[in-house]
Amino acid sequence: MHKKLVLIINSGSSSLKFLLINSKNYKKFLTGIVECLYLKNTNISWNTKNISIKNFYLKSYTTHQEALEFIVNDVLKKKMNIFNNIIAIGHRVVHGGKEIKNSVVIDLSIINIIKRSSCFAPLHNPVNLLGITTLIKIFPSLRKKNVAVFDTSFYQKLPETAYLYGIPYIFYKKYGIRRYGAHGISHSYIMKKSAEIINKDIKSINIISCHLGNGASVSVIKNGICIDTSMGLTPSEGLVMGTRSGDIDPSIIFYLYEKVNMKIKEIKDLLTRKSGILGLSEVTSDFRFSEKKYFFDKKAKRTVDIFSYKLVKYISSYFFLIAKEIDALVFTGGIGENSILVRKLTVLQLSNLGFELCEKFNNKNGFKSNFRISSKKSIPILVISTDEELEIAKETIRLIN
Ligand code: AMP
C-alpha cells in the first residue's frame, strides 16, 4: 500500500490546491483543488488513479480552515483512508522577508518570520500561515515534519541593481524595503522543465519565463539564475493582474489621498482588489470573459490589449539582459497556458526581436501538457504547464530526508 505519502498545500487568496505524493518515487497519488473560497459556490475537485470527483459543492462561504478540515477529515480520512500514511507536509509560502533564503523545516521562529513578512504579501502570507497552523493542529505527531517552501527564495541572487529601489538606502537597511519577487516556485519549476525540454544543463539555461495567472509576473533567468523579475517588495508590482494594478506612478496614491479624499485603506483596496483586469473590464477579473468579447466589446479589447502591452514591455527589456543567448520565451499560468489570443498579441509585438508564432501550434490548446508555439525560424517559444505543488514536494522530501 501507499506507505509514505507527503501532503502538499498551496493556498491562494481564493483557492487551495493540494497534492499527495509518494515520497519514494514522486508519483502523484492524489491531486485536488478547492475553488471559490469565501463565495457562495465553494467547490472541491480531486483525482486519484481510480476516483475523479468534479466540483463537489461545499457549504457556501467556506473558509480556508474549513476547506483544510474537509480535505483531511472527509477526503483523506473517511473517503480514502490514507490519513495514517502521511509522513510530512509541505506548504507554499509567498514571502520569507529579509531573513529566509531557502526552504525550511517549520518551527516557532519560522512561523514568526512568516507572520512578520505578512505586511509584504497581505493577500497570501496570512492564508499560508493558517494552513501551517491548522495542519500542525490536525497532525500533532508531524509537528517537526512541516516544511515551508518560499516564492522569494528563487530571487536570492538578484543583483543589487535589480533589487534596490531609487529611494534612500537607509530604507533598505533599516526596513528591508527592496524588491523580493514572487511566483518563484513556479518560475523555478519552469526553468527546470525548460532545461529538460531544450536538453540543456540547468547551469547554462537562459529563458524569459512569463507566469500569467490571476497574479502575473515575468522573470529573466541567465545561466540558471534569476537576474530580474517584475514583482517587487510585494506581489503588486509589475504586470496588470486579476485585481492588482501592477506598475503605477506612486503619485497616484498621493493624488487619491489628497484630492479624492480616499483613505489609505481604500486606496490599498483599490489597487490590490479592484484594479487590474477587473478594474479595466469593469466586469470581472476572470480573463476568459475579456478574451471571449475581445472582437466586439471595447472594454474587453482594452483590457486584453493593455495586459498584453505591459507584458511586451517587460519581455523586451528583459530580452536585452540575455539577448542572443536566449534559449526560450516561456508562457505558463492560467492565462499563459490557455489564452491563444494573449500569446498571439504578445508575440506579434515582439517580432523585431526574432520571435514568431506558428499559428497552428499556438491554436493547439486544452491539453495539460507542454508544447512549442514558435515557427521554425523563431527563437523558441514554449507553453509549459506549471506545477508548483511538485516543486514544493521535491523541496519537502529533500528536507525531511
Ligand atoms: P491561475 O491563477 O494560474 O489559476 O489563472 C487564473 C486566470 O487564468 C484567470 O484570469 C482565468 O480567467 C484565466 N484562464 C483560465 N482558463 C483560461 C482560458 N481557457 N483562456 C483564457 N484565460 C483563462
Probe residue for ligand 1, chosen from 11, 16, 338, 363 as the CB with the greatest number of ligand atoms within 8 Å: 338
102 within some domain = yes
How many helices and strands in the chain, by DSSP H and E?
15, 14
Predicted pLDDT of residue 165: 98
> Are residues 125 and 247 part of one domain?
no
Tell me, yes or no, whether 148 and 205 share the same domain.
no
297 an active-site residue?
Answer: no
CA of 336 to the centre of ligand 1 (A): 8
- Distance between Cα 330 and ligand 1 center (Å): 16
Q: Residue 146 — φ and ψ, nearest 5°?
A: -100, 130
CA of 338 to the centre of ligand 1 (A): 7
Measuring from atom 8 of ligand 1, which residue has the nearest CA?
Answer: 334
Asked if residue 135 and residue 9 are part of one domain, the reply reads yes
Name every protein residue with a CB atom under 6 angstroms from any ligand 1 atom.
Answer: 213-214, 242, 286-288, 291, 333-335, 338-339
The residue contributing the CA closest to ligand 1 atom 19 is: 338
Are 92 and 224 found together in one domain? no
Residues 368, 287: one domain?
yes
179 lies in some domain: no
Which ligand 1 atom is at minimum distance from the Cα of 211? 3
Write out pLDDT tens, residues 134-148: 999 999 999 999 999
**Pair 56, 130 in one domain:** yes
Distance CA 120, CA 135 (A): 23
- β-strands 52-57, 43-47: how paired? antiparallel
Burial class (CB in 10 A: 0-12, 13-18, 19+), 313: middle
- 163 and 218 Cβ atoms separated by less than 8 Å: no
* Residue 315: predicted pLDDT: 98
Looking at residue 82, what is its pLDDT? Answer: 87
Q: Which residues contact 164 (CB under 8 A, 6 or more apart)?
A: 172, 178, 179
* Mutation pick for ligand 1 pocket among 240, 288, 311, 365 (CB with most ligand atoms within 8 Å): 288
> What pLDDT is attached to residue 272?
92
204 and 132, same domain (yes or no): no
Candidate of 35, 217, 335, 344 to mutate for ligand 1, largest count of ligand atoms within 8 Å of Cβ: 335
Q: What is the DSSP letter of 379?
A: P
Range of the domain at 66: 5-156
List 151, 228, 327, 387, catalytic entry: 151
Per-residue pLDDT tens for 162-204?
A: 999 999 999 999 999 999 999 999 999 999 999 999 999 999 9
Closest residue by Cα to residue 347 from 323, 383, 365, 374: 374
Whether residues 26 and 105 share a domain: the answer is: yes
For residue 329 the three cell numbers come to 520565451
Q: What's the CATH code of the domain at 98?
A: 3.30.420.40
Can you give the pLDDT at residue 51? 87
Measured CA to CA, the distance from residue 148 to residue 151 in angstroms comes to: 10
- Same domain, yes or no, for 14 and 149? yes
251 lies in some domain: yes
- Distance from Cα 333 to the centre of ligand 1, integer Å: 7
Work out which ligand 1 atom sits closest to the CA atom of 386.
3
Burial readout 14-28 (b: 16 or more C-beta within 10 A, e: otherwise): bbbbbbbbbbeeeeb
**Which of 102, 137, 156 is a domain's end point?**
156
- Residue 258 CB contacts under 8 Å (≥ 6 apart), including other chains: none
Distance CA 127, CA 63 (A): 10
First-to-last alpha carbon distance for the chain, in angstroms, is 21
- The answer to whether residue 170 sits within a structural domain is no
Q: Which residues of the chain have pLDDT under 70?
A: 1-2, 366-368
Q: What is the pLDDT of residue 1?
A: 55
Are residue 241 and residue 363 in the same domain, yes or no? Answer: yes
Q: What is the pLDDT of residue 366?
A: 60
In a domain, 388, yes or no: no
Tell me, yes or no, whether 20 lies in a domain: yes
The Å distance, Cα 82 to ligand 1 centre, comes to: 32
Q: What is the pLDDT of residue 200?
A: 97
* Domain co-membership, 149 together with 268: no
> Does residue 287 belong to any structural domain of this protein?
yes
Total domain count, the chain: 2
Q: Within this chain, do residues 318 and 244 fall inside the same structural domain, yes or no?
A: yes
Is residue 194 a part of any domain in this protein? no
